[in-house]
Chain A
Amino acid sequence: MTFIRTHRTVATVAAFVLVYVIIKTFSILPLAEGKPLINGYYLQLIALIGINIVMTVSLGMVNGFTGQFSIGHAGFMAVGAYTSAMITTVWLHVSVANPWVGYPVFILAILVGGLMAAGAGYLVGAPSLRLKGDYLAIVTLCANELIRTVIRVTEVLNGPRGLGGIPKFTNLEVIFVFTIVSVVLMRNYVFSSHGRSMKAIRDSEIAAEAMGINTTRQKVFVFAFSAFFAGVSGGVFAHLLQYIHPDNFSFVKSLEYLIYLYVGGSESISGAIIGPAIFTLLPELMRGLKDWRMVIYPLILILTMIFRTEGIMGLKEFSFILIPQRKRKEANT
């Protein structure tokens, strides 16, 4: 137990691996009349949850921990999705049939997609992060829609017809590795000294500047860092659905992530994990309600916000996420 308590990265990974093992077991064991309990439909849903978790945690880096208000996250997802899909599908023609070539190319493609998204994030963030509050929100929203317009008018990207025939590289293992690595990286960043300067900027930008933090550099870096993960999620998303369309990445999608984030609790990584998990599952669990489903869903959202304004997790973290105060042996000697 001491090991787990002091090595929280290991604990975070272990928690996710445990979830993976449970899901994998139920997707193999023939429990429901000779068929596994978790069928392809649920696996697809779980994959979407993984993508939504990474998108939400990365949005939380900007919105929750740095206190900047970005509502154009889906635009960066589009950049990553289109870049990686172009690499695997149009330029290199890799397929699932040959996994030894396919997977390295796929991994490289989603990383390149992430880097392109980070570049786009830098281009959007560098001039606009000097705007305050709601004006920054508008600029990010506009950047999202501009990216979408550029995709729509670019003939190479198949314009408004959307890009299809993408090989399905994303499976349960890919989703879990991707979610674990992304969440752990972002979690370690938030709890590093950079993370503390992010929180200082959130609490008071002027005070942070007076303490010697280069606020502009920190903000732009966090913005690009979070755009990178959005781009990688976009790549994974494209190789899950096998067809992407510019309208998949409109500002409506960005608002969805904003909802997940604030319902979960914006200043908590656990909140950014639990928010998308619950609110992606919720509409599916309510399938039985038919037409009423999407009427009750927003009502649940409104009631959650009214009765638990700070989000489901508030400022709390799951114990496997949080780093405890380490004992200072040097202090005693």
Chain B
Amino acid sequence: MGEFLQQLINGIQIGSIYALIALGYTMVYGILRLINFAHADIFMVGAYMGFFLGPVMTKIFGSAFLPTIIAAMLVCGLLGFVMEKLAYRPLRYKSRLSALITALGVSMFLENFCSMPRVFSPAFLKFPDLIVARNIPIPGNLGLNVSNVLLLDVSVSVILMVLLFWFVNKTLIGKQMRAVSFDKATASLMGINIDVVISTAFIVGPALAGAGGILYGTTYGMLASPFLGTWPGIKAFIAAVLGGIGNIPGAVLGAYIMGISEAFATSVNSNLGYGIAFAILIGILLVRPSGLLGKFMPEKV
């Protein structure tokens, strides 16, 4: 029982980080129908921002976590904005697949540029302690291991998700975003500025990924190399597809399913833990071809 609960808790922790990344994938996909492969590398930049800005923020503000996460979100939002302007905008009305290949190119560029010695360096880095990790005693003798880092991960991602839901459902720009993702051509006829909406999606999504990067660094305490975004990125992307890509609650649901199943499978065999996500996804897509919460669109003649 204790083992079961422990894996469940671990899964929720990983799932929270995946959810923050998956939201960016699903927002961009919903609006542009583009799989933004470079999103994983923006997550990586966010994690490295924690490494570089964390000590600076400690000096300025005394406490490090909150200022660092906000700074990382700003940097990643800016990066997403610039990326869309330079790489994706010239291709917007051309073939969708060329935009995808460009996304792959941007991803390769970010990974290799950040690996250069003068930039982030390819070396293994220790993530600074933004908060002091402490174990929280749990009543009962189940042997549960709960730390304040875990609570922080879950609460930060839940707060950000609530903010995102409010942003998408209650603000004007959020309403415009939903209109554009529903039908781009009609939305632009209704006087919605598509450029502004797309730029917003490319700021908000990467900002969430940046926050996810800080949480990742705090949780694992190390940064392996600038290629570290690839696997969390692909897992988060699959989570977004699992929930029905383009659907924001779906991405969160998918991310938690992914995190929990991965935690359980990893406790059996580390190689299995890695593959389980893919098996689950194939199973679900074969039963529900548009994801758990996705709408099925029948093909029209």
In the complex, B113 has a CB within 8 A of chain A: yes
Binds A, one of B49-57, B71-79, B207-215, B282-290: B282-290
Residues of A close to B29: CB separation below 8 A: 134
Q: Which of A135, A255, A299 is B241 in contact with, Cβ under 8 Å?
A: A135
Residues of B close to A152: CB separation below 8 A: 271, 274-275
Chain B contacts with A in 97-117, Cβ cutoff 8 A: 97-102, 104-109, 112-113, 115-117
Chain A's nearest CB lies how many Å from the CB of B17?
Answer: 19
In the complex, A104 has a CB within 8 A of chain B: no
Residues of B close to A94: CB separation below 8 A: none
Nearest residue, chain B, Cβ from A153: B271
In the complex, B279 has a CB within 8 A of chain A: yes
Tell me how many residue pairs across A and B have CB atoms closer than 8 Å.
Answer: 125
Chain B contacts with A in 108-155, Cβ cutoff 8 A: 108-109, 112-113, 115-117
Q: A134-B35, A138-B285 are in contact. Are A302 and B87 (CB under 8 A)?
A: yes
Q: Which of A69, A258, A297, A299 is B101 in contact with, Cβ under 8 Å?
A: A258
Contacting pair B282 A143 (CB below 8 A): yes
Q: A295-B112, A295-B113, A309-B91 are in contact. Are A131 and B278 (CB under 8 A)?
A: no
Chain A's nearest CB lies how many Å from the CB of B294?
Answer: 9
Q: Is the interface of B mostly helix, strand, loop or mixed?
A: helix
Residues of B close to A291: CB separation below 8 A: 116-117
In the complex, A242 has a CB within 8 A of chain B: no
Chain A contacts with B in 285-302, Cβ cutoff 8 A: 291-292, 294-295, 297-299, 301-302
Contacting pair B101 A305 (CB below 8 A): yes
In the complex, B173 has a CB within 8 A of chain A: no
In the complex, B222 has a CB within 8 A of chain A: no
Q: A128-B286, A295-B113, A302-B87 are in contact. Are A309 and B95 (CB under 8 A)?
A: yes
Contacting pair B108 A305 (CB below 8 A): no
Residues of A close to B108: CB separation below 8 A: 294, 297-298, 301
Q: Is the interface of A mostly helix, strand, loop or mixed?
A: helix
Contacting pair B102 A131 (CB below 8 A): no
In the complex, A216 has a CB within 8 A of chain B: no
Residues of A close to B279: CB separation below 8 A: 142, 146
Residues of B close to A34: CB separation below 8 A: none
Q: A153-B271, A258-B104, A305-B101 are in contact. Are A135 and B289 (CB under 8 A)?
A: yes
How far is B96's CA from A139's CA once the two chains are assembled, in angstroms? 19
In the complex, B170 has a CB within 8 A of chain A: no
In the complex, A164 has a CB within 8 A of chain B: no
In the complex, B245 has a CB within 8 A of chain A: yes
Against B, the Cβ 8 Å flags (1 = close, 0 = not) of A117-143 are 000000000011011101101110111
Residues of B close to A252: CB separation below 8 A: 230
Contacting pair A301 B245 (CB below 8 A): no
Chain A contacts with B in 251-276, Cβ cutoff 8 A: 251-252, 255, 258-259, 262-263, 266
Contacting pair B285 A139 (CB below 8 A): yes
Q: Which of A128, A131, A259, A294 is B112 in contact with, Cβ under 8 Å?
A: A294
Residues of B close to A299: CB separation below 8 A: 105, 109
Residues of B close to A278: CB separation below 8 A: none
How far is B275's CA from A317's CA once the two chains are assembled, in angstroms? 40
Residues of B close to A36: CB separation below 8 A: none
How far is B112's CA from A130's CA once the two chains are assembled, in angstroms? 37
Interface size on B, residues (CB 8 A): 46
Against B, the Cβ 8 Å flags (1 = close, 0 = not) of A129-168 are 0111011011101110110111011000001100000000
Q: Which of B33, B106, B230, B269 is A302 in contact with, Cβ under 8 Å?
A: B106
Contacting pair A142 B109 (CB below 8 A): no
In the complex, A1 has a CB within 8 A of chain B: no
Residues of A close to B33: CB separation below 8 A: 134
Chain B's nearest CB lies how many Å from the CB of A13?
Answer: 31
Nearest residue, chain A, Cβ from B278: A142
Contacting pair B101 A262 (CB below 8 A): yes
Contacting pair A153 B90 (CB below 8 A): no
Q: A298-B105, A309-B91 are in contact. Are A135 and B285 (CB under 8 A)?
A: yes
In the complex, B299 has a CB within 8 A of chain A: yes
Against A, the Cβ 8 Å flags (1 = close, 0 = not) of B24-53 are 000001000101010000000000000000
Contacting pair B113 A146 (CB below 8 A): no
Chain A's nearest CB lies how many Å from the CB of B201?
Answer: 17
Give the interface centre of B105, B238, B241 by most chain A CB atoms within 10 Å: B105
Residues of B close to A130: CB separation below 8 A: 289
Residues of B close to A97: CB separation below 8 A: none
Residues of A close to B230: CB separation below 8 A: 252
Contacting pair A145 B278 (CB below 8 A): yes
Residues of A close to B275: CB separation below 8 A: 145-146, 148-150, 152-153
Contacts A128-B286, A146-B279, A153-B269 supplied; 14 other A-B pairs, CB < 8 Å: A128-B282, A135-B285, A141-B234, A141-B278, A149-B274, A149-B275, A152-B271, A206-B301, A252-B230, A295-B116, A298-B105, A298-B106, A301-B105, A306-B102
Chain B residues within CB distance 8 Å of chain A = 29, 33, 35, 37, 87, 90-91, 94-95, 97-102, 104-109, 112-113, 115-117, 230, 234, 238, 241, 245, 269, 271-272, 274-275, 278-279, 281-282, 285-286, 289-290, 299, 301
What are 6 A-B pairs at a CB distance below 8 A? Answer: A132-B289, A143-B282, A152-B274, A294-B115, A299-B109, A301-B108
